[in-house]
């Protein structure tokens, strides 16, 4: 049988080739710009990229029990999802990701094939099972994962990383060192190795989001919900650095399966609650350190059960009807604050919907986000560099105090 790419219309092939050519030309220009910009910076060593992309798969542990638990929760979620309202069905974009990349991992999850699933998850940073969440810069997987990385690619990647490090440092007021960005090494991550610390791709942004959320929480215990937690990058830093915290994530079943693997492996002593393992009550939530659920379970969350709800980009692709549905439940379950980072158009839609609710949230802080500017656009993070021209906003909404009687 012919592969699908061989059946592509010549016009589509030409468009794809033009896009790839444009991406490579931009890469070449930025690589040269970065070489000049960071030439006197001791972090600018191309070997840092080579070392950061070396394979470091850890296959020493027995994951059977964990993988079987993940498969059980995934199968439950997939069966129930068919009965969920249309607002919680996969977007067209995610349907395409599933069709093109996720067939093997979905098959492994549905058939409880722990051996195949283990091989994918132990290498998920470089495996198609994380498509839509992680990946090399546009059309350049072979250049970065095919063996020796050419200098032009190393210059391009390192330049983006250093811009991101500097932006992260400025946004966090220099409170942290690069060592704070170190990850658990799960999933064979790629990135850079600087001053002896391996730093995963996208770590700066994930840590920044965790830092912002931590600053909004009261000193005592708290519950944070995330809409679209991906593989768990932000959640890792939040759970690592913040005591007395419960983290709740809502996402598509495939991403929930992956984040379950990542976080449970990273924090084996914490208590995790997966879909279908207990009733979704306030008591069950507060007794867990992390609760990982399919997005349709939003409607089952108890009222006023979380302190802060956070979402980064995950709500950008949903329909207006789905946006209304999501925000209805975010409003109902969130006691104090809703923190959103995303495209300006989506942010304006959220502001409009919340602004029509009398006893809901008020917009308390708006910042233009530089994370998706040209220089810090995140080469290698789910195609984020393709959104470099879009205006991104960071908006905080605080609960309107109800009048006393």
Summarize pLDDT for 193-223 with one digit per residue, the tens. Answer: 999 999 999 999 999 999 999 999 988 889 9
Higher per-residue confidence, 319 vs 387: 319
3-state secondary structure of 144: helix
Q: What pLDDT is attached to residue 377? A: 53
Average pLDDT over residues 236-251: 96
Percent of the chain with pLDDT over 90: 69
Q: What pLDDT is attached to residue 390? A: 63
Per-residue pLDDT of 130-180, as tens digits, reads: 998 987 766 678 888 888 999 999 999 999 999 999 999 999 999 999 999
Per-residue pLDDT of 255-265, as tens digits, reads: 999 999 999 99
DSSP element (H, E) containing 326: helix 320-333
pLDDT at 387 over 50: no
Q: Residue 91: what are its φ and ψ, rounded to 5°?
A: -70, 165
Helices 151-171, 10-37: axis angle to 10 degrees equals 70
pLDDT at 11 over 90: no
Per-residue pLDDT of 102-132, as tens digits, reads: 999 999 999 999 999 999 999 999 999 999 8
CB 397 within 8 A of CB 337: yes
pLDDT at 58 over 90: no
Per-residue pLDDT of 321-373, as tens digits, reads: 999 999 999 999 999 999 999 988 888 899 999 888 877 899 999 998 888 76
Mention the CATH class of domain 26-405: alpha beta
For the chain, what percentages of helix, strand and coil (3-state, to nearest 5) are there? 50, 15, 35
> Comparing 5-9, 16-20, 274-278, which segment has the lowest mean pLDDT?
5-9
pLDDT at 293 over 80: yes
Q: What pLDDT is attached to residue 7? A: 36
For residues 15, 382, 93, 95, the Cα torsion angle rounded to the nearest 10 degrees is 110
Q: What pLDDT is attached to residue 20? A: 64
Q: What pLDDT is attached to residue 177? A: 95
Average pLDDT over residues 279-290: 95
Q: For all residues of the chain together, what is the average pLDDT?
A: 88
Average pLDDT over residues 67-76: 98
Q: What is the distance in angstroms between the CA of the first residue and the CA of the last residue of the chain?
A: 72
3-state secondary structure of 367: strand
User: What's the Cα-to-Cα distance from 120 to each of 108, 178, 186, rounded to whole Å?
Assistant: 10, 29, 12
- Quick one: pLDDT band at residue 375, thresholds 50, 70, 90? low
Q: What pLDDT is attached to residue 376? A: 62
Q: What pLDDT is attached to residue 333? A: 96
Instruction: Using CB atoms within 10 Å of the CB of residue 77, give its burial: 0 to 12 exposed, 13 to 18 middle, 19+ buried.
Output: buried
pLDDT at 388 over 60: no
Q: What pLDDT is attached to residue 8? A: 36
Average pLDDT over residues 364-390: 62
Alpha carbon 278 to its chain's center: 26
User: What's the Cα-to-Cα distance from 131 to each of 12, 262, 380, rounded to whole Å?
Assistant: 22, 15, 11
Q: Residue 45: what are its φ and ψ, rounded to 5°?
A: -135, 115
Percent of the chain with pLDDT over 70: 89
pLDDT at 22 over 80: no
pLDDT at 374 over 60: no
Higher per-residue confidence, 405 vs 339: 339
Q: What pLDDT is attached to residue 19? A: 63
Q: What pLDDT is attached to residue 384? A: 40
């Amino acid at each position: 049988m012919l592969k699908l790419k061989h059946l592509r219309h010549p016009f589509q092939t030409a468009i794809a080739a033009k896009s790839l050519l444009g991406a490579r030309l931009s890469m070449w220009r930025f690589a040269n710009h970065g070489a000049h910009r960071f030439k006197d910076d001791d972090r600018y060593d191309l070997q840092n990229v080579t070392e950061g992309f070396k394979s470091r798969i850890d296959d020493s542990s027995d994951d059977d029990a964990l993988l079987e638990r993940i498969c059980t929760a995934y199968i439950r979620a997939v069966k129930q999802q068919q009965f969920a309202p249309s607002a919680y069905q996969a977007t067209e974009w995610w349907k395409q990701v599933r069709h093109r990349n996720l067939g093997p991992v979905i098959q492994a999850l549905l058939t409880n094939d722990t051996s195949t699933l283990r091989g994918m998850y132990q290498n998920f940073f470089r495996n198609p099972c994380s498509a839509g969440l992680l990946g090399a810069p546009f059309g350049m997987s072979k250049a970065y994962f095919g063996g020796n990385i050419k200098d032009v690619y190393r210059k391009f990647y390192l330049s983006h990383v250093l811009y991101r490090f500097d932006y992260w440092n400025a946004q966090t007021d220099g409170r942290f060192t690069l060592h704070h960005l170190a990850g658990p090494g799960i999933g064979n991550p790629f990135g850079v190795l600087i001053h002896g610390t391996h730093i995963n791709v996208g770590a700066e942004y994930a840590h920044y989001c965790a830092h912002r959320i931590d600053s909004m929480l009261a000193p005592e215990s708290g519950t944070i919900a995330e809409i679209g937690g991906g593989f768990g990058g932000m959640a890792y830093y939040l759970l690592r650095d913040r005591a007395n915290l419960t983290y709740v994530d809502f996402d598509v079943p495939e991403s929930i399966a992956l984040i379950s693997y990542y976080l449970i492996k990273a924090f084996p002593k914490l208590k995790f609650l997966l879909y279908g393992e207990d009733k979704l009550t306030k008591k069950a939530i507060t007794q867990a350190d992390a609760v990982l659920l399919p997005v349709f379970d939003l409607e089952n969350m108890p009222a006023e059960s979380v302190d802060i709800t956070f979402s980064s980009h995950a709500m950008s692709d949903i329909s207006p009807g789905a946006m209304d549905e999501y925000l209805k439940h975010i409003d109902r379950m969130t006691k104090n604050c809703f923190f959103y980072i995303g495209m300006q158009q989506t942010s304006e839609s959220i502001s409009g919907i919340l602004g029509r609710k009398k006893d809901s949230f008020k917009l308390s802080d708006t910042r233009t986000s530089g994370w998706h500017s040209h220089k810090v656009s995140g080469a290698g993070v789910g195609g984020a560099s393709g959104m470099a021209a879009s205006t991104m906003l960071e908006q905080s909404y605080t609960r309107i105090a109800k009048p006393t009687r």
